[in-house]
Amino acid sequence: MSPTHDFWSTLILLLLILDPFGNMPVFLAVTRQVPPRRRAWITLRESAIAYLVLLAFMAGGRRFLELLGLRQASLQVAGGVILLLVAIKMIFSSAETMFDERDLRDPLIFPLAIPLLAGPSALAAVLLFSSAGGSVLAVRIGALSAAVAITAALLLVAEQLARLLGDAVMRAAEKLMGLIVSAIAVNMLLEGVRSYFLLR
């Protein structure tokens, strides 16, 4: 796989997992009573925190796996299962009901950075990507940086997009992303099972 193809495939997968459109209703609910200027600062701050957490998992994930004696196939299966559960939640649940918005006037880390952006599915994905080394890992770190930047940019204009597109379109986009993520999850799960039996 060429570096360019790997970059774009990683970027698209991370954007689907970060799910900016699906997370917009939660973001708007949590920051509803925050002034617009403060909301922009919170968006950038929480995106930066999520990025640092994901970057740490991607950069140090390979050593972590070696320390625990885990094989890549096992991580693929686990990541596939987690992604599938997230996809099912994206398709069938309402994003606004995920968190209680009371007393979240200035949310720090929870719930925007973790688990909204750097949630279990995103952490599992970057941990899986960390199994690569050298230039491939550098390409994937670039894709992670781009994915978080795009997500932050979309969250910065979440209110305007919500007004422009409407709830119906936003919900449809989330369901479509959930469907795509479910297909990726099943493929990851099958690849992990195949790799496990081939390497035995």
CATH number at residue 79: 1.20.1250
Q: Tell me if 199 is assigned to some domain.
A: no
Residue 43 has pLDDT above 90, yes or no: yes
The larger pLDDT score, comparing residue 51 to residue 138, is at 51
Q: The pTM is what? A: 0.77
> Is 138 domain-assigned?
yes
Q: Is the peptide bond before 111 cis (omega within 30 degrees of 0)?
A: yes
Is residue 81's pLDDT more than 80? yes
Q: What is the pLDDT of residues 82-139, one digit of tens each?
A: 778 877 877 786 554 444 444 445 677 877 898 789 887 788 788 878 766 678 888 9
| pLDDT score at 101 | 45
What is the extent of the structural domain holding 36?
Answer: 3-194
Interatomic CA distance for residues 198 and 200, integer angstroms? 6
Tally of domains within the chain:
1
